[in-house]
Amino acid sequence: MSNKDSQDTFTAGGNIAKTDAGNQIIGGWFSVFKVDGDIIVDTDNEEIDIESYNKVFIEFSKNYRNANFDHGSEIKGSLIDNILIDTPEMAKMLVHEITGIPMDEIPVQKLGHFGSFQIHDKADFEDAVKNKLMFSIEGTCDRVEVDDDC
């Protein structure tokens, strides 16, 4: 379990990891839960509960399909795809199905929520790629304090 008294150094969540210029598609990790088996804490120094995130993933996939940049309010794109990779077995199965590499030979670096957006305007797409803008996705949540001593 992660030490909540010290921020982990992983900061790649939300960055563009893949692009398709012809279709103006950008993709990347929306949220990352684990890197090399270590639990990641967010910018509030809190852990993301993978089991609870499954409900968030379903709600997002059904109801929040717009994208903007750097927490702006203007809609810049639409959700194309997204997948919740929440276990090492899921990650290995995906890589195995695509590449044929035996599952026991596949290292798992990250677990999390990965997806892509098509950016509506060509200039916005080019700006996002050039300036390595951060993903910002729609949604709402309730913040619930949890007693760690239980």
Place of tokens 């996002």: 128
In this predicted structure, what is the pLDDT of residue 95?
96
* Domain map (residue ranges) of the chain: 16-137
Please report, in tens digits, the pLDDT of each residue of the chain (150 residues total): 334 343 444 444 567 888 999 999 999 888 888 999 898 887 777 888 888 888 889 988 998 888 877 677 888 999 999 999 999 999 999 999 999 999 999 999 999 999 999 999 999 999 888 887 766 555 566 667 767 665
User: Which residues, including other chains, have CB under 8 Å from residue 124's CB and lie 6 or more apart?
Assistant: 69, 76, 77
Q: What is the pTM of this model?
A: 0.78
In this predicted structure, what is the pLDDT of residue 150?
57
